[in-house]
Amino acid sequence: MSIEDKIKELKRIIDESNNIVFFGGAGVSTESNIPDFRSEEGLYKAKSKYNYSPEYMLSHTFFMKNTDIFYSYYKENLIYLDAKPNKAHMALSELEKKGKLKAVITQNIDNLHQEAGSEKVYELHGSVHRNNCMKCGKFFDLNYVIDEENCKDNVPVCDACGGIVKPDVVLFEESLDDDTVRGAIQSIMEADTLIIGGTSLAVYPAAGLIEYFRGKNLILINRDSTPYDSRASLVINERIGEVLGKII
């Protein structure tokens, strides 16, 4: 089947569906010029500059032991203030407005789905835009965290109690938020169509959410193959933004 035929088939499925859920990974944001830290370039940058793997630097252990180095890496590699929603984000927002899309489940932490207008978004790995003092719990936005005036040795500190401010991002070794996971699972269980895009489905426990899908159409849109391709109703090996941009 040609790419044109696959996109026609995707459009037909969307037209006939009434409860679509989208599950997306890093590939959704790379089209907004947010690089995947697991990419070859990201791995090289981490090991050559910091001498650690990105997974270790983004772990709870590393955050607690080397908070200053964590924030150096975090601010340089996970925060992109100039990033804007791309065709994928905009298309999904439009599908929600039309009543077709019931929820977005994302592994990304950049808030771009919300900026595009999506309202029902489950952020499995949290968001860089939410930050809290570890001592008193006070909330801080992203601007506070990146402002050097609020930092001591590169670490943002609470203006109320002086405690360390931690991003509401799920680090390695930390558990996903129970309410977020429950909401995502419920949405997937109720969906008649599940569209998965921009993810290799290799990161658990997030990838395991697919096992809850009981609907009719499983759509995989990713530049590379995934372990679930054989189970899909339709597989499109293209950039997610280009594909969804042609649908809406």
Cβ contacts of residue 195 below 8 Å, gap of 6+?
20, 21, 22, 23, 219, 221
CB atoms within 10 A of CB 97: 12
CB atoms within 10 A of CB 183: 16
Question: DSSP state, 196?
Answer: E
Active site residue 129: no
Active-site option among 89, 113, 125, 129: 125
Q: Is 59 within 8 Å of 46 (Cβ atoms)?
A: no
Cβ contacts of residue 164 below 8 Å, gap of 6+?
67, 133, 134, 135, 155, 156, 157, 158
Catalytic residues: 125
